[in-house]
A and B are shown apart, each in its own frame.
Chain A
Amino acid sequence: MLRYTLKRALSLGLSLIVASLVIFFVIEVVPGDPASFMLGLNAQPDTIAALRAELGLDVPKFERYLTWVGGMLQGDFGLSYTYRTPVTEMIGDRIWVSLPLALYALTLSTLIAFPAGIYAAARRGKAGDMAVMGATQFGIAVPNFWFAMMLVLIFAINLRWFSAGGFVGWDKGFGAAMHSLTLPAIALALPQSAILARVMRSALLDVLGEDFMRTARAKGLSRRQALLRHGLRNAMIPVLTIIGMQFSFLLAGAIIIEQVFFLPGLGRLIFQSISARDLIVVESVVMLLVFLVILVTFLVDLAYAAIDPRLRART
């Protein structure tokens, strides 16, 4: 297990190095010089050169890469070109919206998907299965912003249980903050849970066909016991893979939902920074997201090994 963990950790480190190189150089070759963009069309060349020097854009690329990476390792992401404020602060404000929102949505999605998937698999081909499958079909087909608008219409405008948008901040207390994230989390979770329920169902159905499930029944376990004791853990590998991918999506891909609910999240930050050619912010946020995604992949890998003894034994 230790060797497996070390190997995965090594691969995590290498992925991060490669990712930082790719992100930095891809963004560098994107057309559009931040300095000339900030100063407008009528700027004098010497003003632009002065701004470039001030922003540190005049030093060689590789040197800038090293400064950028070195800074990040110490928690310093540099200064935003447009706002002249530390990027660390800008990210810090927003990650405390995006990260809890993603975790909240993922928890909801798992809580809906697991029972639904297990129920459908246990009743394969029967009415219950068809109902769940129909509902998931609907969940996948309908875009999440439509869900978001419906939720606002019903729960904010008509019932007035939630506010229609905005984030109250963590200083108002955990309950209040979570309350303001609830509608966005549901809107994000519903389509994800539909996908996850389907994966859960098909993974379980695969496992139900395995010989050891028949052995479990021959021991005297009921269908339900066999499914829960022997089926579920064996079906977890594909389900975990999807959960890992969904977390990555929820973290960065919540931009539309953030717009609908006026949430100051990472998605909006990255969108605004791209429009403003604030490359240092774009680079940093993308790098942070990549780090989180790779970290999640690493954790999913460790979870695989915790589930499956054969992976622990392998190199």
Chain B
Amino acid sequence: MTLLSVQNLSLSICPTPILKDISFTIAPGEILAVTGESGSGKSMTALAVMQLLPDTTETCGQILLNDSDLLTQPEANLCTLRGNDIGMVFQEPMTALNPLQTIGTQVAETIRIHAKAPKAEAMAQAAAMLTRVGLPQDRFPLSRYPHELSGGQRQRVVIAMAIARRPRLLIADEPTTALDVTTQARILDLLKDLVAEFDMGLLMITHDLAVVADMADRILVMRKGEIVEQGATQQLLSNMQHPYTRALFEASGHTVDLPALQGTPAPILTVQNAVRDYALPRTQLFAPRAFHRAVNDVSFTIHQGERVGLVGESGCGKSTLTRAILGLEPVQSGQITAFEHPVGAAMPAALRLKTQVVFQDPYSSFNPRHRVASILTEPFHLVQNPPKGAALQSLIGEVLTDVGLTPQDAQKYIHEFSGGQRQRIAIARALITRPELIIFDEAVSALDVSIRAQILDLIADLSRRHSLAYLFISHDLSVVRTVTDRVLVMQNGEIVEEGATEAVFATPQHSYTQSLIAAAPVLPDLVALTSKTETIYDPA
């Protein structure tokens, strides 16, 4: 029996074709994962099933939900289907809820519009649903507002809203992409349990093959609006037919060739017992202010040419520590020394230039009205005798070549580049002062897997050529594992574990590190997978 059957669906928005001849089915209780890189049409497929496409969309084909075609239904019918027969969970839990309404009202709304239930009854059902998704009433009463909940808790509210009417089909669009690894693992478990309990079909969209491999019954790989391959998870992974699927898989598990460290180099950054407090708002008018200790007694050293990783969940103090290292915020006690000089306002510009930073979002971290050349040379505003004329031009050309672009790109504007190219420009901007230490703050987190693999290769390559030291901050454990020699694990403002990367990943000592590593989704081992399928399907 099929629950949802999409047949020859094509879709275009003002001549641009978005989806081309898509066909797939989902059975009750089945999890179908749709994967692919950004722009492949994953989310559009989900919105097409919901019939929440932009007004200018032209569609042809069929979307059959229990044999009735959604494409020919009038809007009024679709309103009774949405939320009742099809539920949807979105990517960004921080913005998916109305900030002005309590979570109880929002969950109860789904029930009230479809069941026409009286308010008290809808609220009781909402309470039961919230308890089911892991928000028990004693700790998370219906009167809570979204801003009083964490990202993972908000995502649970969104899920409760989507499943409140026990829909037959649930669509989840990157439901865990914005969440920490341990939260991600819990939300994925919840979704799996709900699918089994309600016998729902789940259409799950994700760019993360490791997440897919772990929970999907079947996988569908999309590229540029087309399905390149689909099949049962194990079979598809063990016998990838399409080169794009293979490339995607390889890029997800990409490991870089990191050059070996030489000798015992000198320390360039020393953090000693650093403490950073933030004042909290007063709870009562004349009560003394409380403090939140974002960084608590942190000490570590980075040596010349050393690659150090910093992992931890959001809110653990990674970003605060970064700002302190860059001298953007003072520490309350302890000391941060870079290049044998205390970090802070009094640090000479020449020494400041030796530390540079690359941020996460390649789309918002540049001034769109500046050409690449002026973006790159911005760090020189600090210097007394900046390079000028031909020397400057050759320097710009040099760093652009360094990051795999051409010197001609200097005259372009930032919107002319793709996300990956922009991140290359961000790295070029960091490189132009010839730094000895670069801080990569989630520098590859916003990138597609194939682009991420290229940027990681570039980082390894630069480290080889310029003997760069870097601090690589990321929530993505697999990335940290491949590009660092040493790793620091941070929890609640403290470094709970520190050691050689491979040793920490292979035999984590601290319980928090163990839980982080256990929660991180991992790509299946292809060799094991292949032999396993072979034993199953081997006719001999």
B161 at interface by CB-CB < 8 Å: yes
State whether A315 touches B282 (Cβ < 8 A): yes
Contacts A218-B162, A219-B82, A221-B79 given; indicate if A212 touches B110 (C-beta within 8 A): no
Contact A220 B145 (CB under 8 A): no
- Pick from B80, B87, B285: contact of A218, CB below 8 A: B87
Instruction: Let me know if B241 is at the binding interface, CB within 8 A.
Output: no
Residue of A nearest to B284 (CB): A3
Q: Mark A1-30, 1 if CB is under 8 A from B, else 0.
A: 001001000000000000000000000000
Q: Which residue of B lies closest to A315 (CB)?
A: B281
Complex contacts, B52 vs chain A, CB 8 Å: 214, 217-218
For residue B92, CB closer than 8 A to chain A, the reply is yes
In the assembled complex, B90 has its CB within 8 A of some CB on chain A: yes
Contacts of B114 in A (CB 8 A): 220
The interface-forming segment of B95-103, B414-422, B450-458, B504-512 is: B95-103
CB neighbours (8 Å) of A315 from chain B are 281-282
Instruction: Map CB proximity to A onto B81-98 as digits: 1 under 8 Å, 0 otherwise.
Output: 111100110101001111
B75 at the interface (CB under 8 A from A): yes
Is there an interface contact between A216 and B88, defined as CB atoms closer than 8 Å?
no
| CB-based contact A220/B110 at 8 Å | yes
Q: Which size bracket describes the interface of B in this complex?
A: 20 to 34
Q: Is B526 an interface residue (CB 8 A)?
A: no
Could you give, for residues 192-225 of chain A, a 1 whenever the CB lies within 8 Å of some chain B CB and a 0 otherwise? 0000000000000000001110111111111001
Partner of B113, one of A211, A220, A230, A233: A220
- By the criterion CB–CB under 8 Å, are A234 and B79 in contact? no
| Interchain CA distance A314-B52 in the complex, whole Å | 35
Question: Does residue B50 face the partner (Cβ distance < 8 Å to A)?
Answer: yes
A298 to B482, CA, bound (A): 57
- In Å, the complex CA distance between A217 and B97 comes to 12
Cβ of A313 < 8 Å from any Cβ of B? yes
Inter-chain contact A219/B110, CB cutoff 8 Å:
yes
Whole-angstrom distance between the alpha carbons of A266 and B358 in the complex? 60
CB A231 to nearest CB in B, in angstroms, measures 9
A140 proximity list for chain B (CB < 8 A)? none
B310 on interface, CB distance cutoff 8 Å: no
Given contacts A307-B100, A310-B145, A315-B281, contact A211 B95 (CB under 8 A): yes
User: Chain B's nearest CB lies how many Å from the CB of A192?
Assistant: 26
Cβ-based interface call for B147 (8 A): yes
With both chains docked as a complex, state the minimum distance between the C-beta of A305 and any C-beta of chain B, in angstroms.
12
The answer to whether the Cβ of A308 comes within 8 Å of any Cβ in the partner chain is yes
Docked CA distance A212–B162 (Å): 13
- Chain B contacts with A in 47-94, Cβ cutoff 8 A: 50, 52, 75-76, 79-84, 87-88, 90, 92
**Interchain CB contact under 8 A, A314 and B98:** no
B343 within 8 A of A: no
- Please, which residues of chain B bring their CB within 8 A of the CB of A225? 113
Q: A220-B83, A310-B145 are contacts. A230–B88 as well, Cβ < 8 Å? A: no
CB distance from A303 to the nearest CB of B (A): 13
How close is B482's CB to chain A, nearest CB, in angstroms?
33
Report Cα–Cα, A264/B161, bound state, in Å: 58
| Chain A residue nearest to B94 in the complex (CB) | A211
Complex interface: chain A residues within 8 A of B148 (CB)? 313
CA of A314 to CA of B282, assembled, Å: 10
Contact call B100/A308, Cβ cutoff below 8 A:
yes
Q: Is A309 an interface residue (CB 8 A)?
A: yes
Q: Which residues of B contact A210 (CB under 8 A)?
A: 95
Report chain B residues within 8 Å CB of A307: 100
Please name all residues of chain B whose beta carbon is closer than 8 Å to the beta carbon of A211 when the two chains form the complex: 90, 92, 95-96
- In the complex, are the beta carbons of A220 and B79 less than 8 A apart? yes
Structural contact, A216 and B98, CB atoms closer than 8 A: yes
B435 to chain A, nearest CB (A): 38
* A218 close to B83 (CB less than 8 A): yes
B90/A214 in contact, CB under 8 A: yes
Chain B residues with CB below 8 A from A234, complex form: 98-100
Residue of A nearest to B78 (CB): A220
A309 and B100 contacting across the interface, CB-CB below 8 Å: yes
Chain A residues lying within 8 Å of B145, measured Cβ to Cβ, are 309-310, 313
A229 to B112, CA, bound (A): 13
Cβ of B99 and Cβ of A215 under 8 Å apart? no
Neighbour of A222 across the interface among B75, B88, B101, B282, CB < 8 A: B75
| Pairwise interchain contact A218-B98, C-beta atoms closer than 8 A | no
Q: How far, in angstroms, from A315 to B282 measured CA to CA in the complex?
A: 7
What are the residues of chain A within 8 A of B79 when measuring CB–CB? 220-222
Nearest Cβ distance between residue B44 and chain A, in whole angstroms?
13
B158 contacts A by Cβ under 8 Å: yes
Residues of A within 8 A of B37 (CB): none
- Say yes or no: A212 contacts B98, CB within 8 Å: yes
Say whether B109 faces chain A, with CB atoms less than 8 Å apart: yes
Inter-chain contact B90/A215, CB cutoff 8 Å: yes
- CA of A252 to CA of B113 in the docked complex: distance in angstroms? 47
Within 8 A of B (CB), among A266-315: 307-310, 313-315
Q: Which of B80, B81, B92, B147 has the most CB of A within 10 A?
A: B147
Give, as a whole number of angstroms, the nearest-CB distance from A215 to chain B.
5
Q: Which residues of A contact B147 (CB under 8 A)?
A: 309-310, 313
B contact residues around A221 at 8 Å (CB): 79, 83, 109, 113
Q: A219-B161, A222-B79 are in contact. List 18 more A-B contacts (CB 8 A).
A: A3-B285, A211-B95, A212-B99, A214-B90, A215-B98, A218-B162, A219-B82, A219-B113, A220-B80, A220-B84, A220-B113, A221-B83, A230-B101, A308-B100, A309-B99, A309-B100, A309-B147, A310-B99
Residues on B lying within 8 angstroms of A by beta carbon are: 50, 52, 75-76, 79-84, 87-88, 90, 92, 95-101, 109-110, 113-114, 145, 147-148, 158, 161-162, 281-282, 285
Q: Can you report 9 A-B residue pairs in the complex whose CB atoms are below 8 A from each other? A: A210-B95, A211-B96, A212-B96, A219-B113, A220-B81, A221-B109, A222-B79, A229-B109, A234-B98
Cβ-closest 9 pairs across A and B: A220-B83, A211-B95, A219-B83, A315-B281, A218-B88, A220-B82, A309-B145, A212-B98, A219-B110
